[in-house]
């Protein structure tokens, strides 16, 4: 079966030679162009199915060329090629019709995989994306502030590509939620989204959790039968998405492991000698600034540049203007419907407090406050009196104005007969009470991150109890 040719547009002769050689070795027919005018002529003459277009050309801009070629050949699948420094432009290229993009220097395997994905339609077509741009609801992401609209646009633009995405933002700003949306809108959506939290997985387990291991059989390690391998997150995400939450927490040896997987496109489970090919979309998150981690020598620069092809930053809730009220009202409706509670709206005073508060725990803190209100109070209007004390009266000293630096037991022998989990839960509830219901403040006093406390509370399946319940 004869395939339509692939057009390569690049003004650097060595790039043209390298890309052509890689594609021809894989049996593709290739036509080349060194500038915009030549590209237009050859595209019209040969009607290629795919075009690799460098976004910087001597006689113009590759982004404009993509739009122009799409105008002449609506079925064309353009792939933008860019340098690291111009990732923003790659995102723009995708908005102008590119179905994917590649970052130089091009890795031959990655080039072939991207072409294969484009051929099989794995990348999401522009028509489908255009349709989605018109959708008003954005997968349950609430917020119409300017800054969040930009975030949603970027998610939309990059979701269909195979490129790695690095999501940064304070704790609770919606990084994991954004990753889920990217997966759900990507060509990898039929595979699984596998999440590995690099900051909470035990250091002695992280390698096995990431790359897999040979299952222990009868007290011996036997790695030669495929069936013996317990796959790690990388393999579980085969043809899906691997989400490495808090990737900056990976140790240097684990960073080297990850880099090896990305460079070779294969993973060798612990105890095995056989590399296994893998194909997945990678999304990483970090609450710390990864560039600062690179500068401090704690994170490998070469790995960072591989992971940071697309950077998405989620702004804190306090910088999203009226979104806080919009999210609170929508979430209140959802919670009331779920829990059968009577609240309908927020009073003006509550809206003002929400707009004034700086939300150090971001959306997760807001969700927790709302859950607390709907469970413990009666509507129909949320009044200031229904708010947890730390929000109601932010400047008054809480019971915990002398913040505990450690858990001080209230009873003479408080640990008697309790499991470690029960003691931990009491310590956490005690700290939250002392901080007037503020999770971020309680987290500070316990020396952990707010997300650790929110995860514990989520796991217990109930809202934080207000002061009067203690
Ligand atoms: N735009 C949004 N609209 C509505 N709810 C949202 C939005 N973004 C996030 N959420 C909700 O806020 C909560 C926190 O989101 P998420 O877990 O994605 O944050 P995170 O940044 O990954 O947090 P952490 O850094 O602590 O892991 C979740 O309950 C999520 O569903």
Q: Which atom of ligand 1 is nearest to the CA of 178?
A: 18
Using DSSP bridges, classify how beta strands 220-221 and 216-217 pair: parallel, antiparallel or unpaired.
Answer: antiparallel
Q: Which atom of ligand 1 is nearest to the CA of 366?
A: 12
Taking CA atoms only, the protein residue closest to ligand 1 atom 18 is: 174
Using DSSP bridges, classify how beta strands 216-217 and 276-277 pair: parallel, antiparallel or unpaired.
Answer: unpaired
CA of 171 to the centre of ligand 1 (A): 9
Q: What pLDDT shows up at residue 132?
A: 38
Interior CA angle at 101 toward 97 and 103, to 5°? Answer: 150
Instruction: For ligand 1, pick from 319, 364, 451 the residue to mutate: most ligand atoms within 8 Å of CB.
Output: 364
Q: Which atom of ligand 1 is nearest to the CA of 449?
A: 26
**CA–CA gap between residue 33 and residue 26 (Å, rounded):** 20
- Spatial CA neighbour of 468 closest among 395, 375, 345, 362: 375
Using DSSP bridges, classify how beta strands 77-82 and 50-54 pair: parallel, antiparallel or unpaired.
Answer: parallel
What is the torsional sign of CA 155, 161, 165, 171?
A: positive
Whether ligand 1 lies within 6 angstroms of the CB of 398 is answered as: no
Whether ligand 1 lies within 6 angstroms of the CB of 367 is answered as: yes
Q: Which atom of ligand 1 is nearest to the CA of 455?
A: 26
Instruction: For ligand 1, pick from 139, 165, 176, 289 the residue to mutate: most ligand atoms within 8 Å of CB.
Output: 176
pLDDT per residue as tens, the chain (470 positions): 456 899 999 998 888 888 899 999 988 999 999 999 999 999 988 999 999 999 888 888 888 899 888 888 888 888 888 875 455 666 677 667 777 777 777 778 778 877 887 776 544 333 333 343 434 346 677 888 888 888 888 888 888 888 899 999 999 999 999 999 999 988 899 999 999 999 988 888 999 999 998 876 544 444 445 557 889 999 999 999 999 999 999 999 999 999 999 999 999 998 888 889 999 999 999 999 999 999 999 999 999 999 998 899 999 999 988 889 889 999 888 888 887 877 778 888 888 888 889 999 999 999 999 988 888 888 788 899 999 988 887 665 444 333 322 223 334 445 566 677 777 887 888 788 777 778 888 888 887 877 778 777 777 765 544 333 32
Q: Which atom of ligand 1 is nearest to the CA of 167?
A: 21
CA of 178 to the centre of ligand 1 (A): 8
CA of 139 to the centre of ligand 1 (A): 13
**CA–CA gap between residue 408 and residue 425 (Å, rounded):** 14
CA of 176 to the centre of ligand 1 (A): 6
* pTM over cut 0.90: no
43 neighbors 73 (Cβ within 8 angstroms): yes
Instruction: For ligand 1, pick from 174, 201, 283, 359 the residue to mutate: most ligand atoms within 8 Å of CB.
Output: 174
- Spatial CA neighbour of 290 closest among 303, 279, 304: 304
290 neighbors 283 (Cβ within 8 angstroms): no
207 CA to centre of own chain:
21
Whether ligand 1 lies within 6 angstroms of the CB of 364 is answered as: yes
> What are the structural domain ranges in the chain?
6-123, 159-313, 319-469
CA of 334 to the centre of ligand 1 (A): 15
464 neighbors 440 (Cβ within 8 angstroms): no
Domain 319-469 listed as CATH 1.10.8.60: yes
Whether ligand 1 lies within 6 angstroms of the CB of 368 is answered as: no
Long-range contacts of the stretch 337-344 (C-beta < 8 A, 24+): 339/374, 339/375, 341/374, 341/375, 341/379, 342/378, 342/379, 342/380, 343/373, 343/374, 343/377, 343/379, 343/380, 343/381, 343/382, 344/379, 344/380, 344/381
Q: Which atom of ligand 1 is nearest to the CA of 454?
A: 26
b/e string for 132-155 if b means 16 or more Cβ within 10 A? beeeeebeebbbebeebeebbebb
Whether ligand 1 lies within 6 angstroms of the CB of 287 is answered as: yes
Please provide residue 125's backbone torsions phi and psi, each rounded to the nearest 5 degrees: -70, 160
Whether ligand 1 lies within 6 angstroms of the CB of 360 is answered as: no
Whether ligand 1 lies within 6 angstroms of the CB of 174 is answered as: yes
339 neighbors 375 (Cβ within 8 angstroms): yes
Taking CA atoms only, the protein residue closest to ligand 1 atom 8 is: 174
Question: Which whole-number Å values give the CA distances from 136 to 131, 186, 261, 437, in the listed order?
Answer: 10, 19, 38, 35
89 CA to centre of own chain:
20
Q: Which atom of ligand 1 is nearest to the CA of 363?
A: 12
Instruction: For ligand 1, pick from 138, 152, 177 the residue to mutate: most ligand atoms within 8 Å of CB.
Output: 177
Domains 6-123 and 159-313 share a fold: yes
Q: What pLDDT shows up at residue 430?
A: 78
- Spatial CA neighbour of 379 closest among 341, 332, 343, 346: 343
Whether the link from the prior residue into 105 is cis, omega within 30° of 0, is: yes
Taking CA atoms only, the protein residue closest to ligand 1 atom 16 is: 174
**CA–CA gap between residue 132 and residue 157 (Å, rounded):** 10
Q: What pLDDT shows up at residue 405?
A: 28
- Joined together, the tokens standing for residue 375 give 């469970």
Find all residues with CB under 8 Å of 411, minimum gap 6, and list them: none
The CA-based dihedral angle spanning residues 117, 122, 127, 129, taken in that order and rounded to the nearest 10 degrees: -110
413 CA to centre of own chain:
45
Q: What pLDDT shows up at residue 393?
A: 75
Whether ligand 1 lies within 6 angstroms of the CB of 173 is answered as: yes
Helix H or strand E segment including 100: strand 100-103
Taking CA atoms only, the protein residue closest to ligand 1 atom 13 is: 364
Taking CA atoms only, the protein residue closest to ligand 1 atom 10 is: 174
Sequential DSSP letters for 38-60: HHHHHHHHH--SEEEEESEETTE
Domain 6-123 listed as CATH 3.40.50.2300: yes
CA of 327 to the centre of ligand 1 (A): 11
Please provide residue 248's backbone torsions phi and psi, each rounded to the nearest 5 degrees: -65, -15
Sequential DSSP letters for 190-221: TS-EEEEETTTS-TTTHHHHHH-EEPEETTEE
Helix H or strand E segment including 453: helix 450-460
Fold of 159-313: Rossmann fold (3.40.50)
SS3 381: strand
């Amino acid at each position: 079966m004869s395939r339509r040719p692939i057009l390569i547009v690049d003004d650097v002769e060595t790039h043209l030679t390298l890309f052509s050689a890689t594609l021809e070795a894989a049996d593709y027919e290739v036509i080349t162009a060194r500038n915009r005018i030549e590209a237009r002529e050859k595209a019209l003459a040969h009607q290629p199915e795919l075009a690799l277009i460098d976004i910087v050309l001597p006689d113009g801009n590759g982004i404009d060329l993509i739009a122009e070629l799409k105008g002449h050949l609506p079925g064309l699948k353009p792939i933008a090629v860019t340098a690291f420094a111009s990732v923003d432009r790659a995102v723009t290229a995708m908005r102008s019709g590119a179905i994917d993009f590649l970052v130089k220097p091009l890795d031959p395997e990655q080039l072939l995989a991207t072409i294969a994905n484009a051929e099989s339609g794995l990348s999401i077509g522009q028509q489908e994306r255009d349709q989605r741009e018109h959708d008003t609801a954005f997968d349950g992401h609430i917020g119409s502030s300017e800054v969040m609209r930009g975030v949603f646009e970027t998610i939309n633009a990059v979701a269909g590509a195979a490129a790695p995405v690095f999501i940064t933002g304070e704790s609770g700003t919606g990084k994991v939620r954004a990753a889920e949306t990217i997966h759900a809108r990507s060509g990898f959506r039929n595979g699984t989204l596998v999440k590995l939290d690099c900051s909470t997985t035990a250091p002695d387990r992280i390698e096995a959790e990431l790359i897999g291991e040979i299952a222990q059989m009868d007290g011996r390690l036997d790695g030669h039968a495929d069936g013996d391998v317990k796959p790690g997150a990388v393999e579980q995400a085969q043809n899906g998405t691997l989400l490495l939450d808090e990737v900056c927490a990976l140790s240097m040896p684990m960073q080297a492991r990850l880099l090896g997987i990305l460079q070779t496109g294969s993973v060798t489970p612990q105890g095995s000698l056989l590399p296994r090919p893998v194909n997945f979309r990678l999304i990483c998150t970090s609450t710390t600034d990864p560039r600062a981690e690179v500068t401090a020598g704690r994170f490998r620069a070469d790995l960072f540049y591989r992971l940071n092809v697309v950077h998405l930053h989620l702004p804190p809730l306090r910088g999203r203007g009226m979104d806080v009220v919009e999210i609170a009202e929508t979430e209140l409706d959802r919670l009331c419907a779920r829990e059968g509670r009577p609240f309908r709206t927020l009073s003006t005073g509550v809206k003002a407090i929400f707009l004034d508060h700086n939300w150090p725990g971001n959306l997760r803190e807001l969700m927790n406050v709302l859950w607390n209100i709907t469970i413990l109070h009666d509507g129909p209007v949320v009044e200031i009196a229904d708010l947890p004390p730390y929000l109601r009266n932010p400047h008054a000293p809480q019971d915990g104005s002398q913040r505990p630096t450690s858990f001080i037991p209230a009873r003479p022998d408080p640990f008697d007969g309790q499991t470690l989990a029960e003691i931990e839960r009491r310590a956490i509830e005690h700290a939250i009470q002392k901080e007037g219901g503020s999770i971020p403040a309680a987290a500070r006093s316990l020396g952990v991150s707010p997300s650790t406390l929110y995860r514990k509370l989520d796991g217990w399946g109930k809202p934080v109890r207000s002061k009067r319940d203690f």
